[in-house]
Amino acid sequence: MNSFRAASRIALRTKPTRALLAPRRNYAEAAGPADKIRLSLTLPHQSIYKASDVIQVNIPAESGDMGILANHVPSIEQLRPGVIDIIEEGAGSKQFFLSGGFAVVQPDSQLSINAVEAFPLEDFSPEAVRAQLAEAQRIASGSGSEQDIAEAKVEIEVLETLQAALK
């Protein structure tokens, strides 16, 4: 028997000590009052948050809505159109509507959100959204070119999400 087989047999028989194992984590640990996330919310033309400390960020991930606290399990999430809710210490929360993007949670409580567009939710008028949605639905029902119809369907998805967020 060669030395590799002998070593592997011994390794299989002995229990590894806890010191050798990486800490096991499945869910975010409860954040203490001093724990914060370092948030960067970046668009192609500006940075809305640049390594700012916040308490929690709620995001509309493709896999489902997520609340991210300090010490969250590292992950990469694709974002669908929707509202991100940023909870700051003492200042309440700020809400932004994103058309999509990506969120990257780092192991050291850093969260980077990269999006093409993000606007404060209070900048939207429910009446204007309703009017744009009606126009997009009219185009999607067949009164345009194939490209116009495809663009209108994407616009409908975004506008319906925005309309629901404004209610």
Task: Tell me phi and psi for residue 160, to 5 degrees.
Answer: -65, -40
Alpha-carbon distance of 70 to 88, in angstroms, equals: 13
Give the pTM.
Answer: 0.71
What distances in angstroms separate CA 26 from CA 59, 60, 73, 167, one per listed residue?
Answer: 19, 20, 7, 34
Q: Looking at the DSSP assignment, which residues form a beta bridge with residue 40?
A: 112
pLDDT in the model for residue 32: 41
pLDDT of residue 31: 42
Angle between helices 146-166 and 126-140 (to 10 degrees): 150
Residue 23's pLDDT is: 52
Give the pairing of strands 92-98 and 82-88.
Answer: antiparallel
**pLDDT values of the chain reduced to their tens digit, one per residue, 167 residues:** 455 454 445 545 545 554 455 455 544 554 444 588 999 999 999 999 998 899 999 999 999 999 999 989 999 999 998 999 999 988 788 999 998 899 999 988 999 999 999 999 888 888 988 998 888 888 888 767 888 888 888 888 888 888 888 88
Q: Determine the residue type at 154.
A: V
- Residue 120 CB contacts under 8 Å (≥ 6 apart), including other chains: 94, 95, 96, 97
CA 88 to chain CA centroid, nearest Å: 17
Q: Which two tokens stand for residue 106?
A: 């780092």
Task: Classify residue 124 by its DSSP letter.
Answer: -
